[in-house]
Chain A
Amino acid sequence: MNCRDFLNEFEERNALSGAATLHLNDCADCQKTNVMQTRVWQAIDGFAPVDAPNDFNFRVKARIANAKPNDFQPQFFPVLRYVLPLSAVGLILAFVVFNGIFSIDDKTVSPIAENKFQTLDKKENLAASSSTIEQVTDDSQSPKIEQSIAGNPNTPTFENKKELKMPQDKPRFVAAKFAKKPQVKTPGNSRENSGGSQLNAVSQPRILTPKGLNPNQKIETPSNFEKINPMTAGQILSELGIETVLENGKWEVKSVKQNSVGERSRVKVGDLIEAIDGEKLTGEPKRAKTIEGKKLTVLRGAEKIEISLRN
């Protein structure tokens, strides 16, 4: 037996075993510990018991009578009093925001569905769009509709239009929808049923939808779309079939595609295009909505002429 084993047995305060007694006889350190600890225990055993005062029960009852039970209820960590309600409010706000951003609106087209659509020929798209604008909306309605589109953040822009698949058999209706209507109209749309829109007279487009995708989801157009996706005047004119080069701050026509809006409108090579709908063209990117214009201001030789776009 070693000193550690002896101490373990000794501290149990039971009678020492033979091995422990033998070790105690041989080990001076353990003898010293034994003597010292025994004296301590003897002194502790000599402690006189302390009694409670006679009025102990009375005092306790008085304390109970004066105490507030809530003082003895388990208390939350003080910080939690503030953290828990704030967390709850934060969660509710997060839920509201999340739903606001990612909610699925059955009456609009989603960008996911949009990406899956086949790309239409840009030229055909634009031609259909322009012609339909003229046919469907009269002059008195046009400014009103333009205003409503400009104010609506969900209005599809040209970028959306060229990626969406258009039915080939009814281009005018689809183009009208994308050019003017802020939302896709469905037979179940209550607004249409009530006859509230100027464009409700137009029959519904048939949109080819990839299987498994909902075409009636919302089109998410960021408010700064025009800033992050600017188009130059050259690109806009290219959409009309007019290929131009910027020279000396003016857009000179280099070629006109056959069967394009440009050719039908009789734009000629060498023309210098100054403005669309009176809005002067520069080398700076233009806002995409400029392509909805109807009139070009062209410098042909020394003569400035106005060309109406013919779709």
Chain B
Amino acid sequence: MALDKLENSAAEVLRTTVQAEKLSDHELIEATKKGDEDAFAEIMTRYRSQITNYLYRFLNDYEEAVDLAQETFVRVYFAIERYHTDYAFSTYIYRIATNLAISEIRRRKRRRLVSLTGLFQSDDEPQAQDFQPPDKKPLALENLIESEQTETIARAIATLPEKYRAPIVLRDVEGKSYEEVAAILQLGLGTTKSRISRARKLLREKLQNHF
């Protein structure tokens, strides 16, 4: 008898999970608004790696990226009543993640150490060291171990000004279209293209001695 109940319960969970996987983002959001926690779990499953990857490329710090990705979902959860289905959910969640990442960069800047050597550095040179320097240690997962060249590029991206960093990560790393990048950053299409072009030029200048 008890075994039957357990089987029924497991079947119910499986059926709910299968149903959630078939739903679109907007349907999952609506279900979450009605209190369906499985729907929100499905949203997390769909976007957690994308957001973590995006934030990792943005900050070049895995632990910070995971932390901000979790914060992103917490914010989505509490702001879910204010979400409108006028635009894609992916745009919405990337926008939240971007804002959090920019806030984190600014927080780091405020805590930056002013070293004596920093007094002799020009603006073009690498920025002064942070209190919490990016975690450059190779991670345990094999798929996170990258070649030296790739690591150099990742570091170069992380040194770009924030206004250029977000567009180039979204376009060249995440593979978003210009229109999507413009929507996420709430910029005009022309401005977006201009910033991406400028970011690429800056990146080439930073990397010209390494290639």
CB within 8 Å of B: which residues of A? 7-8, 11, 33, 36-37, 39-41, 43-44, 46-53, 56-57, 59-61, 63-64, 67, 69, 71-73
Kindly list 8 other residue pairs between chains A and B, CB separation below 8 angstroms, not including A47-B57, A47-B173, A49-B53: A48-B145, A50-B52, A51-B52, A52-B51, A53-B66, A59-B70, A67-B78, A73-B78
CB within 8 Å of A: which residues of B? 37, 41, 44-45, 48-49, 51-53, 56-57, 62, 65-66, 69-71, 73-75, 77-79, 141, 143-147, 149-150, 153-154, 172-173, 193, 196-197, 200, 203-204, 207-208, 211
In the bound complex, residues from chain A placing their C-beta under 8 Å from that of B53 are 49-51
Distance between Cα atoms of A60 and B71 in the complex (Å): 8
Distance between Cα atoms of A109 and B58 in the complex (Å): 77
Whether the Cβ atoms of B144 and A48 lie closer than 8 Å is yes
Interface centre among A37, A39, A48, A69 (most CB of B within 10 A): A48
In the bound complex, residues from chain B placing their C-beta under 8 Å from that of A57 are 41, 44-45, 48
Whether the Cβ atoms of B173 and A50 lie closer than 8 Å is no
Q: How far is the CB of B145 from chain A (nearest CB, A)?
A: 8
Q: 15 A-B pairs, CB-CB below 8 angstroms?
A: A36-B208, A37-B204, A40-B204, A40-B211, A44-B153, A47-B173, A50-B49, A50-B52, A50-B56, A52-B66, A56-B48, A60-B44, A64-B74, A69-B78, A72-B78
B146 is contacted by which of A37, A47, A56 (Cβ under 8 Å)? A47
Distance between Cα atoms of A45 and B124 in the complex (Å): 26
In the bound complex, residues from chain B placing their C-beta under 8 Å from that of A52 are 48-49, 51-52, 66, 69
Closest to B175 in A: A45
In the bound complex, residues from chain B placing their C-beta under 8 Å from that of A51 are 49, 52-53, 141, 143
With A7-B197, A43-B153, A50-B52 in contact, do A60 and B146 touch (Cβ < 8 Å)?
Answer: no
Closest to A39 in B: B211
Distance between Cα atoms of A40 and B168 in the complex (Å): 12
In the bound complex, residues from chain A placing their C-beta under 8 Å from that of B57 are 47, 50
Q: Which 5 A-B pairs have the closest CB atoms?
A: A72-B78, A52-B48, A52-B52, A48-B143, A50-B53
In the bound complex, residues from chain B placing their C-beta under 8 Å from that of A53 are 66
Whether the Cβ atoms of A40 and B143 lie closer than 8 Å is no
Closest to B142 in A: A48
In the bound complex, residues from chain B placing their C-beta under 8 Å from that of A71 are 78
By secondary structure, the B interface counts as helix
With A41-B172, A59-B70 in contact, do A72 and B75 touch (Cβ < 8 Å)?
Answer: yes
Distance between Cα atoms of A61 and B211 in the complex (Å): 45
By secondary structure, the A interface counts as helix
In the bound complex, residues from chain A placing their C-beta under 8 Å from that of B141 are 51
B143 is contacted by which of A33, A43, A49, A64 (Cβ under 8 Å)? A49
In the bound complex, residues from chain B placing their C-beta under 8 Å from that of A41 are 172
B150 is contacted by which of A43, A49, A50, A72 (Cβ under 8 Å)? A43
Distance between Cα atoms of A116 and B60 in the complex (Å): 84
With A50-B56, A57-B41 in contact, do A11 and B196 touch (Cβ < 8 Å)?
Answer: yes
Whether the Cβ atoms of B77 and A64 lie closer than 8 Å is yes
Closest to A57 in B: B44
Q: How far is the CB of A103 from chain B (nearest CB, A)?
A: 46
Interface centre among A39, A43, A64 (most CB of B within 10 A): A43
Q: How far is the CB of B28 from chain A (nearest CB, A)?
A: 14
In the bound complex, residues from chain B placing their C-beta under 8 Å from that of A47 are 57, 146, 150, 154, 173
Closest to A7 in B: B197
Distance between Cα atoms of A56 and B41 in the complex (Å): 10
Distance between Cα atoms of A60 and B52 in the complex (Å): 13
Closest to A46 in B: B150
Whether the Cβ atoms of A48 and B146 lie closer than 8 Å is yes
Closest to A59 in B: B70
Distance between Cα atoms of A8 and B144 in the complex (Å): 33
Whether the Cβ atoms of A46 and B147 lie closer than 8 Å is yes
Whether the Cβ atoms of A63 and B153 lie closer than 8 Å is no
In the bound complex, residues from chain A placing their C-beta under 8 Å from that of B66 are 52-53, 56
Whether the Cβ atoms of B204 and A56 lie closer than 8 Å is no
Whether the Cβ atoms of B207 and A36 lie closer than 8 Å is yes
In the bound complex, residues from chain A placing their C-beta under 8 Å from that of B172 are 41, 44
Closest to A69 in B: B78
B44 is contacted by which of A49, A50, A56 (Cβ under 8 Å)? A56
Distance between Cα atoms of A146 and B88 in the complex (Å): 84
In the bound complex, residues from chain A placing their C-beta under 8 Å from that of B204 are 33, 36-37, 40
